[in-house]
Each structure stands twice: as C-alpha cells, then as structure tokens.
Structure 1
Amino acid sequence: MTAADEQRGGTTRRRGAALEDAILRAAAAELREAGYAGMTMDRVAHRAGTNKNAIYRRWPSRAALGVAAYRHLADAELRVPDTGTLRGDALALLRAANETWSSPQGAVLRDLLTAAADTPDLLTLLRAQSGTTRTDAAWWTLLTRAVARGEAPPESLHPRVAGTPLTLLRAEYASRGFPEAPDETLTEIIDEVFLPLVRGRAHPAR
C-alpha cells in the first residue's frame, strides 16, 4: 500500500476488518439514535467516513446491515461472568440478560423486531440470527467450566440445557407483556429449574 493509499484527506484509509468495524459501529450508533426507520446507508456512510459502495459490497441491503450492526453491538457488550460457581455465573448472566432488554441495546432489538413486521427481508435475517450466538456460547462456557470443576455432570453439556434459562426468561416477558422480570423470578429460574436440570443429567432418562 502506498503513502497515497494510506492517507486520504488527512486521515488513514481503512481496509478490511478495520473498515467493517467502523461501518458496524456507525450503523449501531444510527440504530440507537434514529431507530431502524431512520438508519440510512447515506447516514451510516457519512458517519463511518466512507461511501455507500463500500457498505453495499459487504451488506447488500439496509436490513442486512441493521441486523449485523445489532449483532456487533450485542457481541461487544457481552461479558461472560466467572464467579467460581455455576450458580453465581448463571445468576449473573441471567441478570445481565434481563438488564439488556431494558437497556439501549434492548431498545434497538425491539425496534428491529417492530420493523420486521412490515419488512419480510428483515424478519428473515433476524430469524437466521436467532441460531447460535455469543449468548448461547456464554451459557455453554458456564456449563463447561462447571463440568471441569466437577460441579456438573458431563451429560449436562447439551444445547437444550444451556438454553433453558433464556427460554424461560423470554416466556416470562411474554406472560408479563414487557421485557423485565423481578430478581426473585431470575433466582427461581436458576435454583428451581436450571440447577436441578443440570444435576439430574447425571442419570439421564433412556
């Protein structure tokens, strides 16, 4: 790369992962400030200091960029707790998930889900993103640590087991009609359902 390539208008010209990160951060900021309806390729390009062609080469539609930006935002803010016990880790992670839904990040997701009702492409992309995520990986990490400590049986390493707390939390949201649950409910999910399920996997039914 020449000096002329590296410098453009007094700023470093970005390529590859650096440019993609700048675009995703710009799109996430637009989602937070203007919502999906207000996020345009022009606004994202201007904010990222690039052009629309650079965006379209990576994300063929506004819907694709919106979903990618949310995923980028969610992944950047996810922290995997390490309290030393499965119960402590599970409660911390479930509490973080509960706080997320009422946070700016949760507002972005709710906005995307609302927009998806009238945007088939966006709905399809959101459904595709609902598979394996870093959140799923975080719960898997908690179980893996617990197995390594001898706190949980190896048989508990199952995707359905790892996904149980979040599934129950989402069901709680649906029954309440808003994305927030009291801490006693989170504790019940972990103490009355998740931990007994994990321990019971030592002798799974055949």
Structure 2
Amino acid sequence: MPERRRGAALEKALLDAAWEELTTNGYARFTMDAVVQRAGTSPPVLYRRWSDRDELVRAAITHVLEQWRVDTPDTGSLREDVLTLMRTINATRVQHITVMSVHLAGYYQETGTSPGDLFTTGREKAADVLFDRAVDRGEIRAERLTGRIKSLPFDLLRHEILTTFAPVPDHVLEEIVDTVFLPLVR
C-alpha cells in the first residue's frame, strides 16, 4: 500500500500532476478528473485546495515557475548582470517558455491573462535586485526605471524565443541590452 501523502508533499504531487496533464494534453483537454487520476487521489482532496480548473492551472504554473527560478547574477555591472540573466534563461528555459505559450493558449484566452502576466512574477524579483544594485553603484538613475523599461530586455528575449522556438543568438542578446535597454536607463 503506498504511503499516504499529506501537506506540502501532497500539494506538490497534485501540482506536478496538474502540470504533467497540461503539458501532455494541453489546456483544452485539461480536467480536474484527469489530475485526480494522474495524482492517484480523490476529487475531494483536489477540490479542497482548488475550486476550479483555472485556479488549479494558475497554481500549477506558479509552482513550476518557482522550480524554474534562476539565480540572480552579481557580476558588478548592470550590463553583465542583465546579459548573464538573459543568457541563463536563453540556455535553460526556451522549451518551458514555448510550452507555456503554446499549451496554455486556451487558458490565456479564457482567463484574459497572458504569458507575460505569469512570467513576470518570478523574474521581477531577480531583476529588481539587479536594478537596485546598479542604482546603488551609480550606474543608472532610479527615476528612469519604469516597470516597462525593467521588463523590456526580458520581454524582447521572450519575443525572440516565441518567434523562432529556439535559443536566441548571443549577438541578439547583446544588441537588445546595448542598443535598446541601456540607453533608456542611463
């Protein structure tokens, strides 16, 4: 008889099952019953935590994004920090970004959200650290750091990935940082 899961272990198993169901069958065929089957549990266990599929999908995405979080670089310069973070995302997250955009298109349409709404949550924390350090070093002026400008290099990276479904060449990353982003913050 398998060991009974509880608390955080049970929640992780349910969210992992939900993510597997999403990536295997897509949002259109995603059901609470399929997650219950995949997780080897009962409907009340699932419905006690999430009342509907959209709530569960959002929780599964948030769960996966937490697992995918990358370390915040500290190279001593904003340019290198942003490039290092973009290179890490580029080298390790292309498939994830593609899956989240393609498999979840129906979710975004039904809920009125977008991939950007989900991707920015974890990225903002890492990027804010980079920007705060750069302001403290006197590299950039804090008043120029609007939300749009802070997200710009990462939005352009995501756009490049979704345009090609492939890693972005390094010279393009450098162009984004050097000719588009840095002139806006200096």
TM-score, normalization: structure 1?
A: 0.72
Aligned ranges 1:82-121 → 2 under 5 Å: 82-84=73-75, 85-99=77-91, 102-104=94-96, 106-113=98-105, 115-116=106-107, 120=110
Q: Secondary structure at the match of 2:59?
A: helix
Q: Secondary structure at the match of 2:100?
A: helix
Give the conservation status (yes or no) of the 8 Å contact 1:144–1:157: no
Give the conservation status (yes or no) of the 8 Å contact 1:140–1:159: no
| 1:183 alignment counterpart | 170
Counterpart residue identity of residue 93, structure 1:
L
| 1:137 alignment counterpart | 125
Structure 1 residue 147 displacement after superposition:
1.9
- CA offsets per residue over residues 67-105 of structure 1, 9 Å max, x none? 321222122112133142221221122234444663145
Distance 1:108 1:132 in 2: 13
Distance 1:20 1:50 in 2: 11
Aligned ranges 1:158-177 → 2 under 5 Å: 158-172=146-160, 177=163
Q: Percent identity?
A: 39
Counterpart residue identity of residue 69, structure 1:
A
Aligned ranges 1:12-91 → 2 under 5 Å: 12-15=4-7, 17-84=8-75, 85-91=77-83
Counterpart residue identity of residue 86, structure 1:
L
Structure 1 residue 163 displacement after superposition:
1.1
Question: Matched residue pairs, number?
Answer: 184
Structure 1 residue 45 displacement after superposition:
2.0
Give the conservation status (yes or no) of the 8 Å contact 1:36–1:112: yes
Q: Is the radius of gyration larger for structure 1 or structure 2? A: 1
TM-score, normalization: structure 2?
A: 0.78
The runs of 5 or more residues in structure 2 that have no matched partner are none
The runs of 5 or more residues in structure 1 that have no matched partner are 1-8, 200-206
Distance 1:63 1:178 in 2: 28
1:147 to 135, 153, 170: 135
